[in-house]
Amino acid sequence: MPTYTFKRPTDGAMTKRKLTFDEYDQVCSGRLKVLDDDGVELEIVFNPGAATFVLKDGPSGGWMSKSFRENKYRKARRQEMTRREKDHVFKTRLIPNLGGQEADRWEDVRDEVRSKMGTSAASTYDSFVAKEKAS
């Protein structure tokens, strides 16, 4: 049962009482009156800082253990899917071309661009040439 804070209107003293959810709804709607020991009606006070519950591990595990298990599963699954992708997915290769005309190597395209447009334009092909030489 949740604990709610009540205030005595005569002197402003605060007290806490446990109510069921049904009783709380009745108090809010005015169908049920909560009285103190002296018979004075108490007013319910909104107190959001009084949340008093604890998440515990149960027979199937708690929130933390389920989260750790899920993260561990996702990490292993990501590694497995990366391996499968490497093994089964066709990798397309960028074909060297200049103006729609295919070339044998990126280095040939770079040299052609250098002769027509200059070294600054040819430098855009350096990464392609480097990848081609590495493989």
pLDDT band at 56 (very low <50, low <70, confident <90, very high): low
Three-state SS sequence of 20-45: CHHHHHHHHHCCCCCECCCCCECEEE
pLDDT band at 92 (very low <50, low <70, confident <90, very high): confident
Confidence at residue 63, expressed as pLDDT on a 0 to 100 scale: 67
Angle 34-50-4 from CA coordinates, rounded to 5°: 10
Domain boundaries, the chain: 3-50, 97-134
Q: Which of 23-32, 40-49, 115-124 has the lowest mean pLDDT?
A: 40-49
Q: How many other β-carbons are positioned within 10 Å of the β-carbon of residue 79?
A: 10
Does the predicted model carry a pTM greater than 0.85?
Answer: no
Q: pLDDT digits over 101-122, tens only?
A: 898 899 999 999 999 999 999 9
- Between CA 28 and CA 6 the distance in angstroms is 12
Q: pLDDT digits over 61-70, tens only?
A: 666 777 888 8
Closest by CA to 94, choosing from 54, 135, 64, 53, is: 135
Residue 24, class by beta-carbon neighbours within 10 Å (0-12 exposed, 13-18 middle, 19+ buried)?
Answer: middle
User: Please, which residues bridge with residue 98 across strands?
Assistant: 101
* Cβ–Cβ < 8 Å for 50, 59: no
Confidence at residue 74, expressed as pLDDT on a 0 to 100 scale: 96
In Å, the largest CA–CA distance within the chain is: 101
Confidence at residue 85, expressed as pLDDT on a 0 to 100 scale: 92
